[in-house]
Structure 1
């Protein structure tokens, strides 16, 4: 499974915005500069987070992005889904019923495909784990100086 880099970018932006606080919108250009990312692509990721009600955006010269809800209510799965979509990672196309097996008796494939069952089980475990962790959890494990460094950066550069 390959997730796009937008997931990492989105999570880090949520973390930075949580440190800055809801009252200070941060422009995409400042977030892009903070992480040394291409602004155009980061803006697309941020807009996906706005559509998912993870971020709020304020237009205009003093506008920017902020968290739309408290960090405790934004799960990692919320961000993954906003950026990557809700589609299942694994798609079973029942190839076991093709080729040599195409002529097998109809009853042979009554039970679900073992490969599909195993993959779904693994994906559900992965989704449960990401749903159980929030941006607040990330805040708690971040290096001690990160929040202050982010606040200083965004305050020094203005909004």
Structure 2
């Protein structure tokens, strides 16, 4: 029963993540992005099933997305690391922090590499800053209120 619940939760989180990326696609990719689905990165606070769920959601979203294999690999790796670190956070207030920092560095560096030598080239720290700002909006602006809402239903949902 526990294994079935874990797999079901992970699959539902992955599916919701992909749907949110697709619904808000214009904001989900690029140097300046607010990926609304990143609000779900707070879910490891409630269940470890969110770790594979978020990772699979990112893999599927990035398969559909514009940046190809590099984004599939690095995006899912960044998510896996951030989700695990969020799961290990000792305080609720810190749960959204790993996705902000990990994505700012990994996705920022990836986007810098992708746009290097193009007319859209921007300094590395600027891209990291923009990615971090988008993550801050998604993770604390949307994700932290999600924690507060889900806490009321924790026993029924998770």
* TM-score, normalised relative to structure 1: 0.40
Pick the structure with greater CA Rg: 1
Quick one: higher RCO (CA 8 Å, sep 6+), 1 or 2?
Answer: 1
The structure with more helix, counted as a fraction of residues? 2
- TM-score between the two structures when normalised by the length of structure 2: 0.41
Q: Normalized per residue, which structure has more strand? A: 1
